[in-house]
Structure 1
Amino acid sequence: MILVTGATGNVGRNLVRELLAAGEDVRALTRDPATADLPDGVDAVPGDLTRPETLPAALHGVDRAFLFPVHGALDAFLAAARQAGTGHIVLLSSDSVTFTEPGWIGEQHLACEQAVADSGIPWTFVRPTVFMANDLAWADQIRNGGTVRGVYGTGATAPVDERDIAAVAAHALLAPSPGKTYELTGTETLSQIDRVRVIGATLGIPTRFEEVPRETVRRRLLDRLPAPAADFLLDQLAASRTTPTPTLPTTRTTLGRPAHTYADWVAHHATAFTR
Protein backbone atom coordinates (compact mmCIF):
# COMPACT_ATOMS: atom_id res chain seq x y z
CA MET A 1 0.00 0.00 0.00
CA ILE A 2 1.25 3.47 -0.93
CA LEU A 3 0.00 6.50 1.00
CA VAL A 4 -0.20 9.83 -0.82
CA THR A 5 -0.39 12.93 1.37
CA GLY A 6 -1.41 16.18 -0.27
CA ALA A 7 -3.51 13.96 -2.52
CA THR A 8 -5.79 16.72 -3.80
CA GLY A 9 -2.96 19.10 -4.68
CA ASN A 10 -1.31 19.81 -8.03
CA VAL A 11 1.22 17.00 -7.65
CA GLY A 12 -0.84 14.66 -5.47
CA ARG A 13 -3.75 14.24 -7.89
CA ASN A 14 -1.40 13.39 -10.72
CA LEU A 15 0.60 11.04 -8.52
CA VAL A 16 -2.54 9.14 -7.53
CA ARG A 17 -3.34 8.61 -11.21
CA GLU A 18 0.23 7.50 -11.99
CA LEU A 19 0.21 4.92 -9.20
CA LEU A 20 -3.22 3.55 -10.10
CA ALA A 21 -2.10 3.19 -13.72
CA ALA A 22 0.88 1.19 -12.45
CA GLY A 23 -1.48 -1.20 -10.66
CA GLU A 24 -0.60 -0.09 -7.15
CA ASP A 25 -2.86 -0.02 -4.10
CA VAL A 26 -3.22 3.65 -3.23
CA ARG A 27 -4.43 5.34 -0.06
CA ALA A 28 -5.00 9.10 -0.09
CA LEU A 29 -4.88 11.29 2.98
CA THR A 30 -7.40 14.12 2.63
CA ARG A 31 -9.30 16.38 4.98
CA ASP A 32 -12.69 15.39 3.53
CA PRO A 33 -12.87 12.19 1.46
CA ALA A 34 -16.47 12.98 0.47
CA THR A 35 -15.43 16.08 -1.46
CA ALA A 36 -11.94 15.00 -2.59
CA ASP A 37 -13.12 13.83 -6.03
CA LEU A 38 -10.43 11.16 -6.29
CA PRO A 39 -10.52 8.32 -8.85
CA ASP A 40 -12.30 5.05 -8.22
CA GLY A 41 -10.08 2.50 -6.56
CA VAL A 42 -8.42 4.94 -4.18
CA ASP A 43 -8.74 4.32 -0.45
CA ALA A 44 -9.45 7.90 0.63
CA VAL A 45 -9.06 8.35 4.38
CA PRO A 46 -9.72 11.43 6.52
CA GLY A 47 -6.71 13.10 8.03
CA ASP A 48 -4.27 15.95 8.04
CA LEU A 49 -0.53 16.21 8.70
CA THR A 50 -1.31 18.88 11.31
CA ARG A 51 -3.65 16.49 13.18
CA PRO A 52 -1.35 13.78 14.61
CA GLU A 53 -4.26 11.71 15.95
CA THR A 54 -5.36 10.95 12.35
CA LEU A 55 -2.01 9.56 11.19
CA PRO A 56 -1.62 6.07 12.75
CA ALA A 57 -4.79 4.80 11.08
CA ALA A 58 -3.80 6.35 7.75
CA LEU A 59 -0.37 4.68 7.89
CA HIS A 60 -1.58 1.25 8.94
CA GLY A 61 -0.31 -1.28 6.41
CA VAL A 62 1.53 1.37 4.38
CA ASP A 63 4.94 0.32 3.11
CA ARG A 64 5.71 3.46 1.04
CA ALA A 65 4.55 7.05 1.37
CA PHE A 66 4.66 10.31 -0.57
CA LEU A 67 5.11 13.13 1.91
CA PHE A 68 3.94 16.68 1.20
CA PRO A 69 6.19 19.22 2.97
CA VAL A 70 4.01 20.82 5.61
CA HIS A 71 6.72 22.85 7.25
CA GLY A 72 7.09 22.25 10.96
CA ALA A 73 4.50 19.46 11.00
CA LEU A 74 6.34 16.30 9.92
CA ASP A 75 7.53 14.85 13.24
CA ALA A 76 4.22 13.20 14.12
CA PHE A 77 3.92 11.69 10.65
CA LEU A 78 7.45 10.32 10.77
CA ALA A 79 6.90 8.85 14.24
CA ALA A 80 3.69 7.15 13.08
CA ALA A 81 5.44 5.91 9.92
CA ARG A 82 8.20 4.32 11.99
CA GLN A 83 5.60 2.67 14.21
CA ALA A 84 3.76 1.37 11.13
CA GLY A 85 6.93 -0.06 9.62
CA THR A 86 6.82 2.16 6.53
CA GLY A 87 9.94 1.34 4.52
CA HIS A 88 10.34 4.29 2.13
CA ILE A 89 9.33 7.96 2.13
CA VAL A 90 9.46 10.13 -0.98
CA LEU A 91 9.52 13.77 0.12
CA LEU A 92 8.45 16.62 -2.13
CA SER A 93 11.15 19.24 -1.59
CA SER A 94 12.46 22.18 -3.65
CA ASP A 95 15.52 23.07 -5.71
CA SER A 96 15.93 26.08 -3.42
CA VAL A 97 17.74 23.80 -0.95
CA THR A 98 20.67 23.76 -3.39
CA PHE A 99 21.05 27.55 -3.58
CA THR A 100 24.11 29.23 -2.09
CA GLU A 101 21.63 31.30 -0.11
CA PRO A 102 18.54 29.08 0.30
CA GLY A 103 16.50 31.92 1.77
CA TRP A 104 13.34 31.45 3.81
CA ILE A 105 11.75 28.92 1.46
CA GLY A 106 14.93 26.88 1.06
CA GLU A 107 15.47 26.80 4.82
CA GLN A 108 11.95 25.44 5.35
CA HIS A 109 12.54 22.67 2.85
CA LEU A 110 15.98 21.91 4.28
CA ALA A 111 14.34 21.43 7.68
CA CYS A 112 11.85 18.99 6.14
CA GLU A 113 14.64 17.04 4.43
CA GLN A 114 16.61 16.92 7.66
CA ALA A 115 13.60 15.64 9.61
CA VAL A 116 13.06 12.84 7.10
CA ALA A 117 16.75 11.94 7.01
CA ASP A 118 16.88 11.89 10.82
CA SER A 119 13.82 9.63 11.04
CA GLY A 120 15.82 6.56 10.07
CA ILE A 121 13.29 5.65 7.37
CA PRO A 122 14.81 5.17 3.90
CA TRP A 123 14.09 8.27 1.83
CA THR A 124 14.09 9.85 -1.60
CA PHE A 125 13.94 13.62 -2.22
CA VAL A 126 12.23 15.17 -5.26
CA ARG A 127 13.39 18.76 -5.78
CA PRO A 128 11.47 20.59 -8.50
CA THR A 129 12.05 24.15 -9.55
CA VAL A 130 9.06 26.51 -9.79
CA PHE A 131 5.78 24.87 -10.82
CA MET A 132 4.11 25.77 -14.10
CA ALA A 133 0.93 25.54 -12.03
CA ASN A 134 1.91 28.78 -10.29
CA ASP A 135 0.95 30.57 -13.51
CA LEU A 136 -2.69 29.62 -12.95
CA ALA A 137 -2.62 32.74 -10.77
CA TRP A 138 -2.67 34.66 -14.07
CA ALA A 139 -5.92 33.05 -15.22
CA ASP A 140 -8.24 35.89 -14.15
CA GLN A 141 -6.08 38.47 -15.89
CA ILE A 142 -5.88 36.36 -19.06
CA ARG A 143 -9.65 35.90 -19.11
CA ASN A 144 -10.30 39.58 -18.47
CA GLY A 145 -8.38 41.40 -21.17
CA GLY A 146 -5.31 39.23 -21.64
CA THR A 147 -2.86 41.52 -19.83
CA VAL A 148 -0.73 39.94 -17.11
CA ARG A 149 0.63 42.55 -14.71
CA GLY A 150 3.80 41.54 -12.94
CA VAL A 151 7.33 42.51 -12.01
CA TYR A 152 10.70 41.50 -13.50
CA GLY A 153 9.14 40.34 -16.75
CA THR A 154 12.51 39.39 -18.24
CA GLY A 155 13.38 37.15 -15.30
CA ALA A 156 13.83 33.68 -16.80
CA THR A 157 13.19 30.38 -15.02
CA ALA A 158 12.69 26.77 -16.16
CA PRO A 159 9.25 25.91 -14.73
CA VAL A 160 8.23 22.27 -14.47
CA ASP A 161 4.87 20.65 -15.19
CA GLU A 162 3.21 19.14 -12.12
CA ARG A 163 2.55 15.98 -14.18
CA ASP A 164 6.29 15.47 -14.57
CA ILE A 165 6.91 15.97 -10.86
CA ALA A 166 4.25 13.35 -10.14
CA ALA A 167 5.69 10.92 -12.70
CA VAL A 168 9.17 11.17 -11.19
CA ALA A 169 7.72 10.77 -7.68
CA ALA A 170 5.88 7.64 -8.84
CA HIS A 171 9.09 6.30 -10.34
CA ALA A 172 10.83 6.91 -7.01
CA LEU A 173 8.08 5.16 -5.04
CA LEU A 174 8.25 2.13 -7.33
CA ALA A 175 12.06 2.01 -7.52
CA PRO A 176 13.70 -0.94 -5.75
CA SER A 177 16.24 1.26 -3.95
CA PRO A 178 15.62 4.54 -2.09
CA GLY A 179 18.26 7.13 -1.33
CA LYS A 180 18.29 9.18 -4.53
CA THR A 181 17.67 12.87 -5.07
CA TYR A 182 15.89 14.08 -8.21
CA GLU A 183 16.30 17.73 -9.24
CA LEU A 184 13.67 18.68 -11.82
CA THR A 185 13.16 21.51 -14.29
CA GLY A 186 11.14 21.92 -17.43
CA THR A 187 12.59 21.66 -20.92
CA GLU A 188 12.79 25.43 -21.52
CA THR A 189 14.16 28.51 -19.81
CA LEU A 190 11.42 31.12 -20.27
CA SER A 191 10.88 34.64 -19.04
CA GLN A 192 7.48 35.71 -17.78
CA ILE A 193 7.09 37.70 -21.00
CA ASP A 194 7.82 34.50 -22.96
CA ARG A 195 5.29 32.51 -20.97
CA VAL A 196 2.50 35.05 -21.44
CA ARG A 197 3.26 35.02 -25.17
CA VAL A 198 3.10 31.18 -25.25
CA ILE A 199 -0.27 31.24 -23.49
CA GLY A 200 -1.65 33.54 -26.17
CA ALA A 201 -0.12 31.61 -29.07
CA THR A 202 -1.30 28.23 -27.72
CA LEU A 203 -4.85 29.36 -27.05
CA GLY A 204 -5.19 31.74 -29.99
CA ILE A 205 -5.98 34.77 -27.84
CA PRO A 206 -4.27 38.17 -27.47
CA THR A 207 -1.99 38.39 -24.43
CA ARG A 208 0.67 40.77 -23.17
CA PHE A 209 2.85 41.31 -20.10
CA GLU A 210 2.77 44.68 -18.36
CA GLU A 211 5.48 45.63 -15.88
CA VAL A 212 4.21 47.02 -12.56
CA PRO A 213 6.05 48.05 -9.36
CA ARG A 214 7.48 45.31 -7.15
CA GLU A 215 5.36 46.42 -4.21
CA THR A 216 2.16 45.86 -6.21
CA VAL A 217 3.10 42.24 -6.82
CA ARG A 218 4.35 41.81 -3.26
CA ARG A 219 0.97 42.87 -1.88
CA ARG A 220 -0.72 40.21 -4.01
CA LEU A 221 1.71 37.54 -2.81
CA LEU A 222 1.08 38.46 0.81
CA ASP A 223 -2.53 37.32 0.39
CA ARG A 224 -1.25 33.74 0.39
CA LEU A 225 2.37 33.75 1.59
CA PRO A 226 4.28 34.97 4.65
CA ALA A 227 6.39 38.06 4.01
CA PRO A 228 9.78 36.23 4.02
CA ALA A 229 8.53 33.81 1.36
CA ALA A 230 7.16 36.61 -0.83
CA ASP A 231 10.42 38.54 -0.59
CA PHE A 232 12.47 35.43 -1.38
CA LEU A 233 10.42 34.67 -4.50
CA LEU A 234 10.70 38.25 -5.73
CA ASP A 235 14.44 38.36 -5.06
CA GLN A 236 14.96 35.10 -6.97
CA LEU A 237 12.93 36.39 -9.89
CA ALA A 238 14.94 39.62 -9.94
CA ALA A 239 18.20 37.63 -9.94
CA SER A 240 17.00 35.47 -12.83
CA ARG A 241 17.09 38.51 -15.12
CA THR A 242 20.88 38.17 -15.22
CA THR A 243 21.22 34.51 -14.15
CA PRO A 244 18.48 32.49 -15.86
CA THR A 245 17.62 29.07 -14.47
CA PRO A 246 19.29 26.33 -16.56
CA THR A 247 17.36 23.25 -17.65
CA LEU A 248 18.16 19.76 -16.39
CA PRO A 249 17.59 16.43 -18.22
CA THR A 250 16.30 14.60 -15.12
CA THR A 251 12.81 13.85 -16.42
CA ARG A 252 14.13 12.38 -19.68
CA THR A 253 16.86 10.32 -18.03
CA THR A 254 14.50 9.06 -15.30
CA LEU A 255 11.38 8.35 -17.35
CA GLY A 256 12.77 7.83 -20.84
CA ARG A 257 10.66 10.67 -22.23
CA PRO A 258 11.05 14.45 -22.36
CA ALA A 259 9.40 16.71 -19.86
CA HIS A 260 6.25 18.51 -20.95
CA THR A 261 6.78 21.86 -22.63
CA TYR A 262 5.14 25.01 -21.36
CA ALA A 263 2.82 24.97 -24.38
CA ASP A 264 1.80 21.40 -23.45
CA TRP A 265 0.95 22.61 -19.98
CA VAL A 266 -1.08 25.57 -21.27
CA ALA A 267 -3.10 23.31 -23.57
CA HIS A 268 -3.78 20.95 -20.66
CA HIS A 269 -5.15 23.86 -18.60
CA ALA A 270 -6.84 25.72 -21.46
CA THR A 271 -10.21 25.99 -19.73
CA ALA A 272 -8.66 27.75 -16.73
CA PHE A 273 -7.50 30.57 -19.00
CA THR A 274 -10.52 30.81 -21.28
CA ARG A 275 -13.71 29.75 -19.53
Structure 2
Amino acid sequence: MIVVTGASGHVGRALVDQLLAQGAPVRAVTRDPDKAGLPAAAGTYRADLAADDPGPLFDGADALFVNLAAGGAPTCVRLVEAAAAAGVPRAVLLSSAGVTGTAEDADNAIAHMHSVVEQAVVASGMRWTFVRGGMFATNTLDWAGQIHASGAVRGPNATSVSAPVHQDDLAAVAAAALLDDTGTHDGAVHHVTGPEALTPPQMLDIIGHAIGRHLRYVELTRPEALAAMTANGVPEPVADAILDWSNADPARTGVVSDAVKNVTGRPARTFERWVTDNVEAFRR
Protein backbone atom coordinates (compact mmCIF):
# COMPACT_ATOMS: atom_id res chain seq x y z
CA MET A 1 0.00 0.00 0.00
CA ILE A 2 1.39 3.38 -1.04
CA VAL A 3 0.23 6.42 0.91
CA VAL A 4 0.01 9.52 -1.29
CA THR A 5 -0.29 12.90 0.43
CA GLY A 6 -1.46 15.92 -1.53
CA ALA A 7 -3.43 13.45 -3.64
CA SER A 8 -5.81 16.03 -5.10
CA GLY A 9 -3.02 18.38 -6.26
CA HIS A 10 -1.47 18.42 -9.72
CA VAL A 11 1.42 16.06 -8.99
CA GLY A 12 -0.40 13.98 -6.38
CA ARG A 13 -3.36 13.28 -8.65
CA ALA A 14 -1.08 12.35 -11.55
CA LEU A 15 0.82 10.04 -9.22
CA VAL A 16 -2.36 8.34 -7.99
CA ASP A 17 -3.42 7.66 -11.59
CA GLN A 18 0.00 6.31 -12.58
CA LEU A 19 0.33 4.04 -9.55
CA LEU A 20 -3.15 2.61 -10.13
CA ALA A 21 -2.33 2.05 -13.81
CA GLN A 22 0.64 -0.05 -12.69
CA GLY A 23 -1.53 -2.11 -10.36
CA ALA A 24 -0.27 -0.63 -7.09
CA PRO A 25 -2.69 -0.23 -4.18
CA VAL A 26 -3.02 3.44 -3.21
CA ARG A 27 -4.23 5.25 -0.12
CA ALA A 28 -4.94 8.79 -1.33
CA VAL A 29 -5.00 11.41 1.41
CA THR A 30 -7.22 14.46 1.05
CA ARG A 31 -9.05 16.91 3.31
CA ASP A 32 -12.26 16.66 1.28
CA PRO A 33 -12.84 13.40 -0.62
CA ASP A 34 -16.18 14.66 -1.96
CA LYS A 35 -14.47 17.51 -3.84
CA ALA A 36 -11.22 15.72 -4.68
CA GLY A 37 -12.74 13.58 -7.46
CA LEU A 38 -10.21 10.81 -6.93
CA PRO A 39 -10.56 7.51 -8.83
CA ALA A 40 -12.84 4.94 -7.26
CA ALA A 41 -9.97 2.44 -7.33
CA ALA A 42 -7.96 4.55 -4.90
CA GLY A 43 -8.53 4.03 -1.21
CA THR A 44 -9.42 7.60 -0.25
CA TYR A 45 -8.43 8.64 3.28
CA ARG A 46 -9.97 11.80 4.77
CA ALA A 47 -7.47 13.70 6.91
CA ASP A 48 -6.27 17.18 7.75
CA LEU A 49 -2.62 16.33 8.25
CA ALA A 50 -1.96 19.61 10.05
CA ALA A 51 -4.42 18.64 12.79
CA ASP A 52 -5.19 14.91 12.78
CA ASP A 53 -3.16 12.06 14.24
CA PRO A 54 -1.37 10.55 11.21
CA GLY A 55 -0.72 7.20 12.89
CA PRO A 56 -3.73 5.25 11.52
CA LEU A 57 -2.85 6.41 8.02
CA PHE A 58 0.06 3.98 7.89
CA ASP A 59 -1.70 0.70 8.67
CA GLY A 60 -0.33 -1.76 6.11
CA ALA A 61 1.66 0.95 4.30
CA ASP A 62 4.76 0.03 2.29
CA ALA A 63 5.73 3.51 1.15
CA LEU A 64 4.90 7.20 1.65
CA PHE A 65 4.85 10.03 -0.87
CA VAL A 66 5.51 13.31 0.94
CA ASN A 67 4.27 16.54 -0.61
CA LEU A 68 4.58 19.87 1.19
CA ALA A 69 1.35 20.97 -0.48
CA ALA A 70 -0.37 18.67 2.02
CA GLY A 71 0.37 20.94 4.97
CA GLY A 72 3.75 22.65 4.97
CA ALA A 73 7.11 21.74 6.44
CA PRO A 74 6.20 21.23 10.15
CA THR A 75 3.27 19.01 9.20
CA CYS A 76 5.41 16.97 6.81
CA VAL A 77 8.15 16.52 9.41
CA ARG A 78 5.54 15.18 11.84
CA LEU A 79 4.17 12.94 9.10
CA VAL A 80 7.61 11.50 8.32
CA GLU A 81 8.30 10.83 11.99
CA ALA A 82 4.93 9.06 12.37
CA ALA A 83 5.59 6.95 9.27
CA ALA A 84 8.98 5.88 10.58
CA ALA A 85 7.48 5.04 13.98
CA ALA A 86 4.85 2.92 12.23
CA GLY A 87 7.53 0.96 10.41
CA VAL A 88 6.92 2.30 6.90
CA PRO A 89 10.10 1.32 5.02
CA ARG A 90 10.25 3.91 2.23
CA ALA A 91 9.59 7.63 1.68
CA VAL A 92 9.71 9.62 -1.53
CA LEU A 93 9.71 13.39 -1.10
CA LEU A 94 8.64 15.92 -3.72
CA SER A 95 11.28 18.54 -3.02
CA SER A 96 12.59 21.61 -4.81
CA ALA A 97 15.45 22.23 -7.23
CA GLY A 98 16.16 25.30 -5.10
CA VAL A 99 17.65 23.09 -2.39
CA THR A 100 21.44 23.17 -2.49
CA GLY A 101 22.31 21.21 0.64
CA THR A 102 24.41 24.16 1.84
CA ALA A 103 24.01 26.98 4.36
CA GLU A 104 22.58 29.01 1.49
CA ASP A 105 19.27 27.14 1.88
CA ALA A 106 18.55 28.97 5.15
CA ASP A 107 18.30 32.28 3.28
CA ASN A 108 15.63 31.16 0.81
CA ALA A 109 12.16 30.35 2.15
CA ILE A 110 11.34 27.73 -0.48
CA ALA A 111 14.70 25.98 -0.24
CA HIS A 112 14.58 26.12 3.55
CA MET A 113 11.15 24.53 3.95
CA HIS A 114 12.06 21.69 1.63
CA SER A 115 15.51 21.15 3.14
CA VAL A 116 13.97 20.85 6.62
CA VAL A 117 11.78 18.01 5.40
CA GLU A 118 14.66 16.41 3.49
CA GLN A 119 16.66 16.35 6.72
CA ALA A 120 13.76 14.76 8.59
CA VAL A 121 13.42 12.07 5.93
CA VAL A 122 17.12 11.21 6.10
CA ALA A 123 17.00 11.16 9.91
CA SER A 124 13.95 8.88 9.90
CA GLY A 125 15.92 5.79 8.94
CA MET A 126 13.54 5.00 6.08
CA ARG A 127 14.83 4.25 2.61
CA TRP A 128 14.39 7.51 0.77
CA THR A 129 14.40 9.29 -2.59
CA PHE A 130 14.15 13.03 -3.27
CA VAL A 131 12.43 14.29 -6.41
CA ARG A 132 13.70 17.86 -6.65
CA GLY A 133 11.41 19.49 -9.17
CA GLY A 134 12.40 22.51 -11.20
CA MET A 135 9.80 25.09 -12.20
CA PHE A 136 6.41 23.36 -12.36
CA ALA A 137 4.68 24.04 -15.67
CA THR A 138 1.46 24.29 -13.64
CA ASN A 139 2.75 27.56 -12.18
CA THR A 140 1.76 29.24 -15.45
CA LEU A 141 -1.88 28.51 -14.64
CA ASP A 142 -1.57 31.63 -12.48
CA TRP A 143 -1.41 33.59 -15.75
CA ALA A 144 -4.83 32.42 -16.92
CA GLY A 145 -6.82 35.25 -15.33
CA GLN A 146 -4.63 37.93 -16.90
CA ILE A 147 -4.76 36.18 -20.27
CA HIS A 148 -8.54 36.06 -20.16
CA ALA A 149 -8.82 39.68 -19.07
CA SER A 150 -6.32 41.47 -21.28
CA GLY A 151 -3.93 39.16 -23.08
CA ALA A 152 -1.08 40.70 -21.11
CA VAL A 153 0.76 38.92 -18.30
CA ARG A 154 2.60 41.05 -15.76
CA GLY A 155 5.58 39.48 -14.01
CA PRO A 156 9.23 39.83 -13.06
CA ASN A 157 12.38 39.59 -15.15
CA ALA A 158 11.45 38.82 -18.74
CA THR A 159 14.94 37.45 -19.41
CA SER A 160 14.93 34.83 -16.63
CA VAL A 161 15.05 31.22 -17.76
CA SER A 162 13.72 27.94 -16.40
CA ALA A 163 12.91 24.50 -17.75
CA PRO A 164 9.21 23.96 -16.90
CA VAL A 165 8.39 20.38 -15.99
CA HIS A 166 5.11 18.54 -16.65
CA GLN A 167 3.42 17.20 -13.53
CA ASP A 168 3.09 13.80 -15.21
CA ASP A 169 6.88 13.58 -15.43
CA LEU A 170 7.34 14.46 -11.78
CA ALA A 171 4.75 11.80 -10.95
CA ALA A 172 6.47 9.24 -13.19
CA VAL A 173 9.82 9.69 -11.44
CA ALA A 174 8.13 9.50 -8.04
CA ALA A 175 6.21 6.36 -9.06
CA ALA A 176 9.41 4.65 -10.18
CA ALA A 177 11.01 5.35 -6.81
CA LEU A 178 7.93 4.28 -4.82
CA LEU A 179 7.68 0.99 -6.71
CA ASP A 180 11.43 0.27 -6.72
CA ASP A 181 12.21 -3.15 -5.27
CA THR A 182 15.85 -3.25 -6.35
CA GLY A 183 17.31 -0.39 -4.31
CA THR A 184 18.09 1.57 -7.48
CA HIS A 185 16.55 4.76 -6.09
CA ASP A 186 17.62 4.41 -2.46
CA GLY A 187 19.37 7.61 -1.42
CA ALA A 188 18.92 9.11 -4.89
CA VAL A 189 18.33 12.82 -5.50
CA HIS A 190 16.60 13.28 -8.85
CA HIS A 191 16.69 16.84 -10.23
CA VAL A 192 13.67 16.78 -12.53
CA THR A 193 13.16 19.43 -15.22
CA GLY A 194 11.52 19.83 -18.55
CA PRO A 195 13.59 19.36 -21.74
CA GLU A 196 14.10 23.02 -22.66
CA ALA A 197 14.97 26.28 -20.90
CA LEU A 198 12.53 29.09 -21.69
CA THR A 199 11.94 32.71 -20.73
CA PRO A 200 8.49 33.83 -19.56
CA PRO A 201 7.77 35.55 -22.91
CA GLN A 202 8.69 32.33 -24.75
CA MET A 203 6.30 30.34 -22.56
CA LEU A 204 3.63 32.94 -23.21
CA ASP A 205 4.21 32.70 -26.97
CA ILE A 206 3.61 28.94 -26.77
CA ILE A 207 0.36 29.50 -24.89
CA GLY A 208 -0.69 32.19 -27.34
CA HIS A 209 -0.05 29.94 -30.33
CA ALA A 210 -2.14 27.20 -28.74
CA ILE A 211 -5.15 29.48 -28.17
CA GLY A 212 -4.76 31.61 -31.29
CA ARG A 213 -4.08 34.90 -29.53
CA HIS A 214 -1.23 37.38 -29.42
CA LEU A 215 -0.14 37.62 -25.80
CA ARG A 216 2.26 40.11 -24.22
CA TYR A 217 4.59 39.84 -21.23
CA VAL A 218 4.89 43.08 -19.24
CA GLU A 219 7.97 43.15 -17.04
CA LEU A 220 7.55 44.47 -13.51
CA THR A 221 10.20 45.86 -11.22
CA ARG A 222 10.99 43.76 -8.18
CA PRO A 223 8.92 45.98 -5.82
CA GLU A 224 5.99 45.89 -8.26
CA ALA A 225 6.20 42.13 -8.62
CA LEU A 226 6.48 41.63 -4.85
CA ALA A 227 3.44 43.81 -4.25
CA ALA A 228 1.41 41.95 -6.89
CA MET A 229 2.33 38.53 -5.50
CA THR A 230 1.61 39.36 -1.88
CA ALA A 231 -1.69 40.97 -2.90
CA ASN A 232 -2.62 37.60 -4.42
CA GLY A 233 -1.93 35.81 -1.15
CA VAL A 234 1.67 34.66 -1.61
CA PRO A 235 3.52 34.97 1.73
CA GLU A 236 6.22 37.62 1.45
CA PRO A 237 9.15 35.26 2.24
CA VAL A 238 7.96 32.88 -0.48
CA ALA A 239 7.46 35.76 -2.93
CA ASP A 240 10.98 36.96 -2.15
CA ALA A 241 12.34 33.47 -2.80
CA ILE A 242 10.55 33.28 -6.16
CA LEU A 243 11.93 36.68 -7.17
CA ASP A 244 15.41 35.68 -6.06
CA TRP A 245 15.14 32.60 -8.29
CA SER A 246 13.99 34.69 -11.25
CA ASN A 247 17.10 36.86 -10.85
CA ALA A 248 19.53 34.01 -10.19
CA ASP A 249 22.28 32.92 -12.57
CA PRO A 250 20.66 31.42 -15.70
CA ALA A 251 23.35 28.74 -15.61
CA ARG A 252 21.55 27.48 -12.51
CA THR A 253 17.89 28.26 -13.17
CA GLY A 254 18.06 27.12 -16.79
CA VAL A 255 19.60 23.72 -16.10
CA VAL A 256 18.02 20.94 -18.17
CA SER A 257 18.39 17.50 -16.64
CA ASP A 258 18.06 14.00 -18.08
CA ALA A 259 16.36 12.65 -14.96
CA VAL A 260 13.05 11.84 -16.62
CA LYS A 261 14.73 9.88 -19.41
CA ASN A 262 17.20 8.21 -17.06
CA VAL A 263 14.46 7.06 -14.67
CA THR A 264 11.56 6.33 -17.03
CA GLY A 265 13.32 5.52 -20.30
CA ARG A 266 11.53 8.23 -22.28
CA PRO A 267 12.19 11.95 -22.82
CA ALA A 268 10.59 14.59 -20.64
CA ARG A 269 7.42 16.19 -21.98
CA THR A 270 7.87 19.64 -23.52
CA PHE A 271 6.15 22.79 -22.30
CA GLU A 272 4.24 22.79 -25.60
CA ARG A 273 2.90 19.34 -24.69
CA TRP A 274 1.90 20.62 -21.25
CA VAL A 275 0.05 23.56 -22.81
CA THR A 276 -1.77 21.21 -25.18
CA ASP A 277 -2.81 19.06 -22.22
CA ASN A 278 -4.10 22.10 -20.30
CA VAL A 279 -5.14 24.48 -23.06
CA GLU A 280 -8.74 24.87 -21.90
CA ALA A 281 -7.54 26.65 -18.75
CA PHE A 282 -6.28 29.49 -20.94
CA ARG A 283 -9.24 29.61 -23.33
CA ARG A 284 -11.95 30.28 -20.77
Same fold (TM over 0.5): yes
Secondary structure of 1:74's aligned partner? helix
Specify the code of the residue in structure 1 equivalent to 2:98.
S
Residue 17 of structure 1, CA deviation: 0.4
Unmatched segments (≥5 aa) in structure 2: none
Checking the alignment, whether the CA contact within 8 Å between 1:152 and 1:241 is kept in structure 2 is no
Specify the code of the residue in structure 2 equivalent to 1:131.
F
Q: Does 1:105 align with 2:110?
A: yes
Residue 107 of structure 1, CA deviation: 1.5
Q: Partners of 2:82 and 2:247 in 1: how far apart?
A: 41
Where do 1:7-46 residues align within 5 Å? Answer: 7-46=7-46
Q: CA RMSD in A?
A: 1.6
Match of 1:233 among 242, 251, 256: 242
C-alpha change, 1:99 and 1:206, in structure 2 (3 Å) is farther
Q: Does 1:274 align with 2:276?
A: no
Checking the alignment, whether the CA contact within 8 Å between 2:101 and 2:115 is kept in structure 1 is no
C-alpha change, 1:83 and 1:243, in structure 2 (3 Å) is closer
Q: Does 1:190 align with 2:198?
A: yes
Worse-superposed segment, 172-181 or 258-267: 172-181
Q: Deviations over 1:31-86 (max 9, x none)?
A: 11122100120111111221242x12221111111011221223432232123221
C-alpha change, 1:117 and 1:241, in structure 2 (3 Å) is closer
2:95 corresponding residue in structure 1: 93
1:4 corresponding residue in structure 2: 4
Q: Percent of aligned pairs with the same residue?
A: 40
C-alpha change, 1:274 and 1:27, in structure 2 (3 Å) is same
Checking the alignment, whether the CA contact within 8 Å between 2:77 and 2:117 is kept in structure 1 is no
Q: Does 1:61 align with 2:60?
A: yes
Q: Does 1:146 align with 2:151?
A: yes
Match of 1:71 among 59, 73, 88: 73
C-alpha change, 1:88 and 1:209, in structure 2 (3 Å) is same
1:181 corresponding residue in structure 2: 189
Q: Partners of 1:239 and 1:125 in 2: how far apart?
A: 23
Q: Deviations over 1:126-148 (max 9, x none)?
A: 10111111110000111223111
Worse-superposed segment, 241-250 or 207-216: 241-250
Worse-superposed segment, 71-80 or 187-196: 71-80
Checking the alignment, whether the CA contact within 8 Å between 1:52 and 1:76 is kept in structure 2 is no
Checking the alignment, whether the CA contact within 8 Å between 2:245 and 2:253 is kept in structure 1 is no
Checking the alignment, whether the CA contact within 8 Å between 1:93 and 1:109 is kept in structure 2 is yes
Match of 2:211 among 203, 212, 215: 203
Checking the alignment, whether the CA contact within 8 Å between 2:67 and 2:76 is kept in structure 1 is no
Secondary structure of 1:96's aligned partner? coil
1:161 corresponding residue in structure 2: 166
TM-score (structure 2 length as normaliser): 0.92
Q: Partners of 2:12 and 2:202 in 1: how far apart?
A: 28
Unmatched segments (≥5 aa) in structure 1: none
C-alpha change, 1:242 and 1:32, in structure 2 (3 Å) is closer
Residue 168 of structure 1, CA deviation: 0.5
Worse-superposed segment, 22-31 or 230-239: 230-239
Checking the alignment, whether the CA contact within 8 Å between 1:157 and 1:240 is kept in structure 2 is no
C-alpha change, 1:46 and 1:181, in structure 2 (3 Å) is same
